[in-house]
Structure 1
């Protein structure tokens, strides 16, 4: 692991998506840097090629969508399928097209196809994601998504009454 690079990121939080314990040297580095490690296991042992749980994705989003924890990095012990699936589900939340999501997922996992993971990504229910109360603190460009109570609907109108607008496009790309 490139610790000197990680230092340049001035991280506050590491989301570690694995039931496997991080290495001792990595844990020591995080402690020395004052970086909080949040380990999300998904409730079961990690088996290569096994689909990750919906709960793991939701637990990761709970941390990733909390501006108080920024800057944050998401990783797993191999950095491909669990991390890739969580980020792909984030892209779904950001309203990317499925073909763009799958293309990015395949590029980073190094596989031409991963049917089990791609099916999970396609079927992931973004309506289950609890969105932050103050989305203006998120470092995202905005696509308007109107929230009223438990119901979510697409909208291009401005705030009205108790309705609030949140927008998601993570990073500089817009799909």
Structure 2
């Protein structure tokens, strides 16, 4: 592991100790372990992780969560709402933070999850979609934006309120 501080592509702070990025590579491991001091990583792809990523997480003592979901793509592939709710449960739980959320490019699936977190923070749809499009550029998906708008957050609000996770601490 190199001691160079190299964040993954599409990396950003979301809120509190929640971060987002593309799929981390070897050159990002030092940053994730020593700068972010991650407790957890949430992977939003269904495929197995490369062995070097699994070894890094194990050696660094970083807990791996995986909620493998397909992205929203025409004509009939959609992220199931209950999968997104499960991912939100993991991310919002302070015992898993600091946490990094990623899919492959950190654009679409990650963008949908972050957009739904923004809804919990009472952001306007205009602001949510602006942030989504900045990270998804140049391939923003209308279906992702529709998913964020239509996502029924009543279950996660109930769970988060019962566990005292709301409001999300900046």
- The residue number in structure 2 matching 1:76 is 103
Tell me the matched-pair count.
Answer: 138
Instruction: Decide whether the 8 Å contact of 2:115 with 2:128 is kept in 1.
Output: yes
CA distance in 2, matches of 1:47, 1:105: 14
- The residue number in structure 1 matching 2:89 is 62
- String of CA shifts for 1:59-102, please: whole Å, max 9, x gaps: 11111111111111111122211111001011011100000000
- The residue number in structure 1 matching 2:13 is none
Q: How far 1:134 sits from its partner (Å)?
A: 4.5
Which structure has the greater CA radius of gyration? 1
Unaligned 5+ residue runs, structure 2?
A: 1-24
CA distance in 2, matches of 1:3, 1:133: 35
Counterpart of 1:20 (choices 47, 51, 60) is: 47
Q: How far 1:113 sits from its partner (Å)?
A: 4.0
- The residue number in structure 2 matching 1:4 is 30
Instruction: Rate the CA distance shift 1:34–1:102 in 2: closer, same or farther, 3 A.
Output: same
Instruction: Decide whether the 8 Å contact of 1:13 with 1:36 is kept in 2.
Output: yes
CA distance in 2, matches of 1:47, 1:60: 14
CA distance in 2, matches of 1:48, 1:106: 15
- The residue number in structure 2 matching 1:153 is none
Does 1:114 find its partner at 2:141?
yes
* Higher fraction of helix: 2
Q: Give TM-score, length-normalised by structure 2.
A: 0.74
- The residue number in structure 1 matching 2:115 is 88
Instruction: Decide whether the 8 Å contact of 2:132 with 2:140 is kept in 1.
Output: no
Indicate the SS of the match to 1:131. Answer: helix
Indicate the SS of the match to 1:30. Answer: helix
**What's the RMSD between the two structures over aligned residues?**
1.9
Instruction: Decide whether the 8 Å contact of 1:65 with 1:131 is kept in 2.
Output: yes
Indicate the SS of the match to 2:85. Answer: helix
- String of CA shifts for 1:125-156, please: whole Å, max 9, x gaps: 12121215453xx5xxxxxxxxxxxxxxxxxx
- The residue number in structure 2 matching 1:159 is none
* Higher fraction of strand: 1
Task: Tell me which of the two structures has the higher relative contact order, counting C-alpha pairs closer than 8 angstroms and 6 or more residues apart.
Answer: 2
Q: Give TM-score, length-normalised by structure 1.
A: 0.72
